[in-house]
Structures are given as structure tokens and as C-alpha cells.
Amino acid sequence: MELLVDLHTHTIASGHAYSTITENAQAASRRGLKLLGMTDHGPSMPGAPHLFHFDNLSIIPDELYGVRILPGVEANITNHQGDLDMPLKYLEYLKLILVGLHPICYPGGTCEQNTQAYIKAMKNPYTDMMVHPGRPDFEMDLEKIAHASAFLNIPVEVNNSSLSTIRDKDGARDNCRSIARYMAKYKSPVILGSDAHFWDRVGEFSDALDLVHEVGISEQQILNTSPDRVLNYLATRRKNRSDISILSHHYGLNIA
């Protein structure tokens, strides 16, 4: 499987990541990637960039070292209603909006509250993709999330960093395997993300790929194989935002 896209990477702007966009793009180019998401953390994460960072992203060239750059954000869910920490103005023009749960940015809750928060964020018409559902910080009903992903056609990430040995001791690997099995079962759309916080991890998917093969997620489910498929998905998502908003309300009656 040829993986040409990494949509989840951080730069020095995130506060706890250590490479520039230039270094990340060079690394992506060396790995043969064609599309790179620049998704620094949303502003409620300690050390994350001020909103001014997002205001000025348009100065970054569309392409660096032969790699197309998508300036975006990894927004934080901030409460049980699934609200995000990015004002609407930014959600309107950023080219890639990843959404996830992070300690400090989210108060925690019961399994049901966490699951609801995550699924409500999936129904947000500005959300493009959901990240690292397997991280063990907040217990969730992973089958419900995989089902909602398939039903709403919102890709959910298999996060390579969650599968690293450092996080494994927290039970992340078991969680990741569990949701990956459900994503295979429901044929949910899948994105592999490096979640790189240093340039040498950009485009690193080996642990995620092993898991995908182990649980039988098909190549057709994985968006990373085609930059055009990712770009078409993002363009359609933006075109349909007003419709999705209405439909999400309707889906709210059926899901979760």
C-alpha cells in the first residue's frame, strides 16, 4: 500500500513539538509524500499557538519541496456538548480541521459523556476528521464511534503515535486494536496519521499499518493512498457544510 498523505503533523508552533514546517515538508518530500497537513494544536492546549498563528497561515506556500501543504488545526473538544476551541472565523477558512480529546482541554466524564462529546464533534459540519480515539485518557464506547464514523462518513484516525511503546503501557494499543476492529466491521473511512511532533516521524505509519493489516481494514477504506481522494473529500465537505448542518441535526436523532 502506497501512503502519499500525512494529515496529522505538528510544528514548533504547538509548543511541545520541535520542527518547523520547512523541516517537516523536507522530511515529507524525502518520504515521497504528496500532501502534508500542518495541524498544530488548538488554543486551549497549554503552549499551543495564539489565534494570531492561524490568522497568518496564508503566507505559507501551497507547495514546499514538491509537497502540497494543507494549513489546519488539531482542534480540542472542550466540553460534553462536543464544542471546539476554534472560533467560527477560523473553522471557515482553515483547509483541514482535525478534532480530538486531550487532557487539560476537556474536563473528562463518564464513558457515555465522553462518547457523546466525541460523536457530537463528529456531527459538527466543520469537522473534517477525528483523531486518536484509542488514546486511553477518556473511556469511550469505541463501537459506537466506529459506527457513527461509517454512518456520517467522517474519517477516524489510526494514530501511529498512539501505538508507540511509550503509550502502550497505558493500554492504548488494546484500545486502538479494539476500535480498528470495529472500523473494519462497519467499513468506516480511515485515515492513518503520524501525529509527528518531530520531523523524523512525518509519514511514519509502520505501527498503524501493522494494525490495519491485522484487523482487516481494507485499502479502499484508507484515504491516505490518494491525495486526490483526500482533496475531493475536503472540497465536498466544505461545499456541503450547510446541508450537513441540517442532516447532522437529523442524524442526532438516530445516533449515539
Work out how close the CB of 16 gets to Zn ion at its nearest, in angstroms, rounded to a whole number: 6
Please report how close the Cβ of residue 206 comes to Zn ion at its closest, in angstroms.
Answer: 19
49 lies in the binding site for Zn ion (CB under 5 A): no
Nearest to 183 by CA among 137, 210, 218: 218
By CB under 5 A, residue 193 contacts Zn ion: no
Q: How many residues bind Zn ion (CB under 5 A)?
A: 1
Select 100 or 189, whichever has its Cβ closest to Zn ion: 100
| 75/244 with CB nearer Zn ion | 75
**Smallest gap, in angstroms, from Cβ of residue 238 to Zn ion?**
23
Q: What is the number of other CB atoms lying within 10 angstroms of the CB of residue 13?
A: 18
Query: Distance (Å, rounded) from C-alpha 194 to C-alpha 186?
Result: 23
- Cβ 40 to Zn ion, closest distance in Å? 8
Output the smallest distance, CB 155 to Zn ion, in A. 15
The residue (of 72 and 100) whose beta carbon lies closer to Zn ion is: 100
Beta-sheet pairing, 63-64 with 67-76: antiparallel
Name the residue nearer to Zn ion (CB basis): 71 or 100.
100
Mark the segment that binds Zn ion (CB under 5 A) among 29-37, 63-71, 96-104, 161-169: 96-104
Sole window of 85-93, 94-102, 170-178, 238-246 interacting with Zn ion (rule: CB under 5 A): 94-102
CB atoms within 10 A of CB 237: 18
For residue 255 the three cell numbers come to 445516533
Q: Which residue's CB atom is positioned nearest to Zn ion?
A: 100
> 131: how many CB neighbours lie within 10 A of its CB?
25
**Residue-wise DSSP of 104-120:** TTB----HHHHHHHHHH
Residue labelled with grid coordinates 518531530: 198
* Gap between the Cα atoms of 109 and 39, Å rounded: 26
Q: Which is nearer to Zn ion, 82 or 100 (CB)?
A: 100
Pick 16 or 89: Cβ nearer Zn ion:
16
Place of cell 486551549: 44
Q: Containing H/E element for 185?
A: helix 172-186
Binding range to Zn ion, per CB under 5 A, among 95-103, 169-177, 200-208, 233-241:
95-103
Give the span between the Cα atoms of 186 and 133, in whole angstroms.
16
Nearer to Zn ion, 65 or 198 (CB): 198
Shortest distance in whole angstroms from residue 204 CB to Zn ion: 15
CB of residue 175 vs Zn ion: minimum separation in angstroms? 14
Query: Which three three-digit cell numbers place residue 208?
Result: 498503524
End-to-end CA distance of the chain: 33
Q: What is the distance between the alpha carbons of residues 210 and 122, in angstroms, rounded to a whole number?
A: 26
Q: Per CB under 5 A, which of residues 98..117 are in contact with Zn ion?
A: 100
Applying CB under 5 A, which residues contact Zn ion?
100
